[in-house]
Amino acid sequence: MTKIGMLTVLFLCGWSLWGWATGEGDQIIGQWYSEDRNQKYEIFQSGTTYSARLIWMAEPNHPDGSPKLDENNPDPAKRRQPLVGMTVFWGLTYRNGSWVNGKTYSPKQGRTADCSLRLRSNNELELTGSVGFVKRSRIWKRA
């Protein structure tokens, strides 16, 4: 390999690591409202990946005052877990302006799906969940 070829490879490797080292992926860290503003989520870094947990609900309790639980979870041992505090997506890695290769869990359906995120603007986050060829996107607003 020529000196120019070697320098080009080193430059490209350094350039790709620059975004990771400067914390570009951290742009999504913080609190976000769901589309209907009935839930608030906190996105946080967990090692080298990003996750989110539900931190607030407009109606966190049933009419009798008991907390809403993860009643549709396929794992019976988790059905008594309160929704508030639950991790709803995890394992996302930042790559080329998007957060990819994550998983999301829907307590309403009791299902897990693949997910990715991308910032539409500083205050709008697009979440896309997919199972096979079926995709569904939501827009969260920064709190």
pLDDT for res 34: 97
- Report all structural domains of the chain as residue ranges with CATH numbers, in order of start: 25-142 (2.40.128.520)
pLDDT for res 38: 97
pLDDT for res 9: 39
Sorted by sequence, the CB contacts under 8 Å of residue 71 that are 6+ apart come out as 79, 107
On the CB side of 59, CA atoms within 13 Å amount to 4
pLDDT for res 15: 37
Cβ atoms of 51 and 89 within 8 Å: the answer is yes
pLDDT at position 135 over 60 = yes
What does the alpha-carbon distance between residue 105 and residue 93 come to, in Å, rounded to a whole number?
A: 17
Q: Which long-range contacts (CB under 8 A, 24 or more apart) does 36-39 make?
A: 37/141
pLDDT at position 98 over 80 = yes
pLDDT for res 42: 98
Cα 55 to chain centroid distance, Å, stands at 14
Residue 71: band (very low, low, confident or very high) from pLDDT cuts 50, 70, 90: very high
pLDDT at position 63 over 70 = yes
The pLDDT tens digits of the residues spanning 2-52 come to 555 443 333 334 334 434 444 889 999 999 999 999 999 999 999 999 999
Cα 103 to chain centroid distance, Å, stands at 8
Share of the chain above pLDDT 70, in %: 85
Residue 1: band (very low, low, confident or very high) from pLDDT cuts 50, 70, 90: low
For residues 100-105, give the mean pLDDT.
98
On the CB side of 78, CA atoms within 13 Å amount to 12
